[in-house]
Every structure is written in C-alpha cells, then in structure tokens.
Structure 1
Amino acid sequence: MKLTKRNVYILLVIILTIAADQISKVIVRANVVGRTDFTPSERISLIGEYFVLMNVENTGAFLGMGSDLSPGLRIVLLLILPIIVLGYVLLHILKDKSLDNWTLFAFASIIGGGIANVYDRIAYGSVTDFLFIDLGGVFKTGIFNLADLSVTTGMVILLLVSFRKKKTA
C-alpha cells in the first residue's frame, strides 16, 4: 500500500475512531460498576435522565442479539465474518479512487468502529457498552458505545451521500 495523502486520511480516521472508542471504554471499565446481563448496576446521569452513562458487558452484537448462540457460532458470526467483511471494505476503499471524501470518511468510520468492537470481543470476550439516550419516550436507544456510534454515523453518511448522488444523476 502506497502512503498517499488519501490513504493517510483513511488510516487516520480508522485509528482515531479505534483510539476514541478504546480510551472511553478503559475509562468506563475503571470507573463505572457494570454487569453482563443488560441490567447495569450503576447509572450516572450526564444530562438528567435523558443521557445516562452505565457499564454493560455485551457478549452478543447489536442490543445483545446473538449472546445466546453457541460459542462456535458466536465466533463465526461475531468475529470471523466481521473481520472478513471489514478487510474487504478496507481493500475496496483503498483501491477505488473514485470515492469522495465523505464516502471515505463514512467507510473508515464503519471500519474503525467494527475493528474496535471486534478487538473487545477478542480481548475481553464481550463489548463494553455504556451510553443510553431516552428523550422522554420520543426517542430511545439501546445501550451503545463510541464504536457503535461511529458505525451508525458512517451508515447515515453513506445514505445521505447516496441520496445526494441520485438527485444529481
């Protein structure tokens, strides 16, 4: 891989995404009492009951889905498959020179968030989730982390870029 300005941009977004996620998780693991069954034992109000910090160790994927799978199936679906997909997407964005900066940022954010959560599964056997938003029942999230936020943000950006391209076509 040639170290072009474009490739440095991609790698920098991935590395910063992983770093922000891992630093936040180290802080949460060290300072917030947590549990593994999606019933956190400590809730720290950041903005009233609207934005809450807690510590939940998620052995599954999104919202704990897959946590009841057999260990072998969990390894395949939550480790091996994501590593293959993330590697493929990284190769794609490094090779496809036609992608604009927003698309590159979106894919790099998704890759960084994915790598950060895969790392947690390998290193700790679970993913640390710690943020929860409840806007009075109008909008409510599951418990998530910065890697999840990066993946979601990347997906939203890809959707917006896709709609923008369709309008101009």
Structure 2
Amino acid sequence: MANWDDYDETETEEPEEASLCLMADTKDKELHYIGSRNRLSGKIPASLANLNLAFLDLSRNALEGDASVFFGSKKETQQIVLGNNKFGFDFGKVGLSKNLEKLDLRNNKIYGTLPEGLTALKFLHKLNVSSNNLCGQIPSLRFDETSYAHNKCLCGSPLPPCKT
C-alpha cells in the first residue's frame, strides 16, 4: 500500500502502487489533484497546505489525520472530495473557499460543528458530511437529511430538532 510517509516532494517518480495524478490545466491555470481509490495510507504532509487546488479528490483511500490543510477562506478551491478515509479534524475551525461547489467528507472521523460559513457559500450545490462525529445545530441550508445522517449529535432541520 502506498504511504504518504514515504512521499518525498523532491522525487520526480510517482509511488509504484499509487497512480497519483497532479494536473495543471494551463489554459485555465487550475491545479487538480485526483488520488481517489489509490490505496493511499498515512497522514497528509503539512507542506500540502501551500497548495491552492481547484479540485481535490482523495476519496476511498486509507488516509488519516488532519485534512484541514486543504481548507482556507483565501483558497480558490471549488471541489473537495475526501470521503471514505480516516480523517479527523475540527470541522468547525476551518475556513471555506467562497468558490466551493462540492464538499464530500462522508465516512471519516471529523468532529466539531458545521462551520457557520457554509450558509454563505452561494455556489455550494453538493454537501455530504454523513457518518462522522459532528455535533450541534445544522445551519440553514438546502440539503436533505442524507447529507448529515449518522453523525454523533447533529440536530435541526432536516434532522430531528435539537434538545434544549
């Protein structure tokens, strides 16, 4: 299984067992990273926080640790797909790109609350934070219960009301 701990940013060769794909679209100057279903494991290197990716897909791997490095209000990220890993970080403390269209964090170990900034994302059309350890009131958003299901203690529409 490929491991982030073995990743050397100075090497030009890709890991043998993982077909990583980092593409620069020179026409639009967008940077894309697609590493879905590549049997990647380990923690995300902190140095990746410097990347400003338009599209990020690391879903369906065995990655763990703090993936908050991929978030930030000053980033231009449009899609973050990190579902089906073992990431654990406080989601309530992340900044969100105003360009975010798709956010898929399902089936991880993410905790905290939903960021209030979610309500300000006018381009967000796909959200899935199901099957994590999130708690608290769901902000007024237009997503159904499947987007929030199987969390530790999320409450409020479209889930059952919060207990007072």
Query: If the TM-score is normalised by the length of the shorter chain, which range does it land in?
Result: under 0.3
TM-score (norm 2): 0.23
Tell which has more relative contact order, 1 or 2 (C-alpha 8 A, sep 6+).
1
Query: Larger helix proportion, structure 1 or 2?
Result: 1
TM-score (norm 1): 0.23
Larger Rg: 1
Query: Larger strand proportion, structure 1 or 2?
Result: 2
